[in-house]
């Protein structure tokens, strides 16, 4: 036993070599050019025959890959002690990470089918300091990750009661809040933006695909096309609409499949301190987050979700502003009954009286001047468009109609947005509603605010209005166009809440 191991330093499972192989391949793919050119140069300079060269190249790459992966595994050590998790890693450049328990906001584990066979998990830690997951333990025993969760929870209890915790892991998962059915998976697939993203990714490739597939389609569907030409315009339109629908359905299908893969068997539970979700078809994803680390709770309902009478919730943690993917705790689909319980679940006592229903009656509207100001703004856009049209010799009547059309077309949307804006307050928390097609709520505890901005444009000043911004560690919550005196009172109140709070915000 090496001295390091004697002090509680552990290695990850040898299976983590698989993970490292994947990591290296991903890295190589990213820097393909840089990695391939020197290797090819070496092979060519040794003067082998073409066939040997290829085999040699492939062999050398494979050996290098395995050597590096094994090397990374050998050099990776971690230790879990009283203060936190320590990680030592890196072959040439040694890296030492010490992550204190109090800095850990969330624990994410994934378990693919191979890992499941051996009772292993891949564990990532969320901390506030980094844009991506900071601590990463590839392939560690599942019970170890369980103990780690226990550690994080127990430490909280320690600081609350001043009683030292015991060593064994408490597998107490607490209360189950939510369990999603296969039907819910379909709903998640249909309402997620995944299908749209896929479309956006495929769109640039469409031309290329079209060029290649064109001749083939011609041969195969040529006769069909001939028949189509004979059809009436109405039928042709029908065919066009039908093919768009088919494409949309294929995308939806992929999205639903994605939802099954990611969330199948989704359950959500809490023990009052930590909220925890688990789901996934092949690879199980498990995510837990300390509820004390929550900064902003977002509740979203788009038109489709509204049709299903469901909501999507995102609990946002503190993150550096660069990229905060993976820093938020996602609840992909939740019924209204869950949303009603959400204040108590996420904000505990401080969430009392907080109403997170979209049509809750506690929302104070913003000023009606918002509509006028925005319509004027779009009127300005219209005027510019009209002038541009005049400049390219379009008849003035057409230009005038265009200039008027812009604000007229924008007006219903502005009106809708105005109607959706709203702010509701309780003694400890606030919730802001906004949206155009759907609705989004942002709920937060007043004491977690980092900074308050009161902004006033000249137009707003004339009417005694301001825009209020609450800057939190996860995101900024904006309340536009509210009465100046009300906003300043609110600013005072939030500052008072923050400054008199003796609780940690992180």
323 near other proteins, judged by CB under 8 A: no
Decide: 403 and 383 in contact? Cβ < 8 Å.
yes
Interatomic CA distance for residues 246 and 266, integer angstroms = 29
CB nearer to other proteins: pick between 97 and 498: 498
Q: Is the dihedral of CA 398, 402, 403, 405 positive or negative?
A: positive
Cβ 444 to other proteins shortest distance, Å? 11
For residue 311, list its beta bridge partners: 334
Q: Which of residues 113-172 bind other proteins (CB under 8 A)?
A: 128
Give kind and range of the element (H or E) at residue 218: helix 206-230
According to DSSP, the residues that pair with 106 across neighbouring strands are: 126, 289
Nearest to other proteins of 390, 471 (CB atom): 471
Q: Contacts with other proteins: how many residues (CB under 8 A)?
A: 35
For other proteins, the binding residues in 372-391 under the rule CB under 8 A are: none
CB of 500 to other proteins, least distance (A): 8
Nearest distance in Å: CB 414, other proteins:
21
**Interacting span for other proteins (CB under 8 A) from 68-76, 153-161, 255-263, 452-460:** 452-460
| Residue 175 backbone zone (phi > 0: left; psi -120 to 50: alpha; other: beta) | beta
By CB under 8 A, tell whether 412 contacts other proteins: no
Query: 22 is written with which tokens?
Result: 């994947």
Which stretch, 93-101, 151-159, 226-234, 446-454, contacts other proteins (CB under 8 A)?
Answer: 446-454
Task: Calculate helix-pair angle for 16-30, 32-45, nearest 10 degrees.
Answer: 90
Least distance in Å: CB of 464 to other proteins? 13
Q: What is the token pair recorded at 93?
A: 């450049």
Spell out, one character per residue from 272 to 311, where the chain touches other proteins: x when CB under 8 A holds, - when not: ----------------------------------------
Does 424 bind other proteins (CB under 8 A)? Our answer is no
- CB of 71 or CB of 326, closer to other proteins: 326
392 vs 503, which CB is nearer to other proteins?
A: 503
Residues of this chain, 481-500, that bind other proteins according to CB under 8 A: 488-489, 491-493, 495-496, 498-499
Q: How far apart (Å, rounded) are the C-alpha atoms in residues 478 and 468?
A: 6
> Measured between alpha carbons, how far is 173 from 326 in angstroms, rounded to an integer?
22
Q: Establish if 318 lies at the interface with other proteins (CB under 8 A).
A: yes
Minimum CB distance to other proteins smaller for 12 or for 289 = 289
Q: How far is the CB of 156 from other proteins (least distance, A)?
A: 17
CA distances from residue 252 to 1, 88, 198, 258, 388 in whole angstroms, order as listed: 55, 44, 10, 10, 41
Considering Cα of 369, then 370, then 376, then 377, what sign does the dihedral take?
positive
CB closer to other proteins out of 181 and 457: 457
Residue 159: how many other CB atoms lie within 10 Å: 11
Q: How far is the CB of 132 from other proteins (least distance, A)?
A: 16
**CB-nearer residue toward other proteins: 233 or 503:** 503
Nearest distance from residue 427's CB to other proteins, in Å?
9
Exposure class string for 85-118: b at 16+ Cβ within 10 A, else e: bbbbbeeeeeeebebebbbbbbbbbebbeebeee
155's enclosing H/E stretch is helix 142-161
Contact footprint for other proteins (CB under 8 A): 128, 318, 320-322, 449-458, 461, 471-473, 476, 488-489, 491-493, 495-496, 498-499, 501-506
């Amino acid at each position: 036993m090496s001295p390091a191991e004697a002090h509680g330093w552990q290695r990850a499972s040898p299976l983590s070599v698989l993970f490292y192989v994947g990591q290296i391949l991903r890295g190589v793919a990213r820097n393909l050019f840089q990695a391939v050119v020197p290797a090819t140069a070496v092979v060519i300079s040794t003067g082998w025959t073409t066939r040997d060269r290829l085999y040699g190249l492939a062999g050398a790459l494979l050996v290098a890959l395995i050597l590096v992966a094994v090397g990374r595994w050998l050099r990776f050590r971690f230790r879990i002690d009283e203060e936190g998790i320590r990680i030592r890693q890196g072959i040439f450049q040694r890296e030492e990470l010490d992550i204190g328990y109090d800095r850990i906001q969330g624990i994410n584990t994934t378990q693919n089918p191979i890992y499941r066979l051996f009772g292993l998990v891949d564990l990532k830690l969320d901390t506030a300091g980094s844009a991506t997951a900071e601590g990463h333990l590839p392939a560690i025993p599942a019970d170890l990750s369980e103990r780690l969760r226990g550690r994080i929870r127990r430490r909280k209890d320690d600081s609350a009661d001043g009683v030292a915790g015991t060593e064994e892991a408490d597998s107490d998962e607490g209360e189950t809040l939510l369990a999603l059915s296969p039907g819910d998976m379909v709903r998640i697939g249909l309402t997620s933006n995944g299908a749209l993203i896929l479309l956006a990714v495929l769109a640039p490739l469409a031309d290329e695909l079209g060029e290649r597939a064109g001749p083939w389609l011609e041969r195969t569907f040529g006769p069909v096309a001939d028949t189509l030409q004979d059809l009436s315009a109405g039928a042709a339109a029908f065919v066009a609409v039908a093919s768009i629908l088919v494409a949309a359905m294929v995308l939806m299908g992929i999205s639903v499949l994605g939802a099954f893969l990611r969330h199948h068997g989704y359950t959500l539970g809490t023990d009052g301190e930590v909220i925890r979700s688990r789901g996934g078809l092949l690879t199980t994803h498990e995510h837990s987050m300390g509820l004390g680390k929550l900064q902003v709770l977002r509740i979203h309902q788009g038109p489709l979700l509204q049709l299903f009478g469901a909501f999507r919730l995102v609990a946002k943690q503190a993150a550096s502003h660069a990229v905060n993917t993976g820093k938020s705790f996602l609840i992909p689909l939740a019924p209204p009954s869950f949303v009603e319980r959400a204040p108590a679940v996420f904000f505990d006592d401080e969430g009392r009286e907080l109403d997170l229903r979209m049509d809750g009656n506690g929302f104070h509207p913003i000023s009606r001047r918002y509509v006028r100001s925005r319509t004027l703004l779009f009127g300005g856009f219209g005027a510019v468009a009209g002038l541009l049209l005049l400049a390219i010799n379009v008849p003035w009547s057409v230009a005038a109609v265009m200039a008027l059309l812009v604000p007229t077309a924008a007006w219903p949307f502005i009106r809708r947005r105005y109607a959706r804006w709203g702010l509701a307050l309780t003694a400890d928390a606030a919730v802001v509603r906004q949206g155009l097609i759907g609705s989004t709520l942002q709920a937060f505890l007043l004491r977690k605010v980092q900074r308050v901005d009161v902004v006033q444009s000249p137009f707003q000043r004339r009417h005694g209005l301001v825009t209020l911004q609450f800057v939190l560690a996860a995101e900024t919550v904006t309340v536009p166009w509210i009465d100046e005196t009300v906003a300043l009172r609110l600013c005072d109140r939030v500052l008072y809440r923050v400054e008199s709070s003796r609780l940690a915000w992180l």
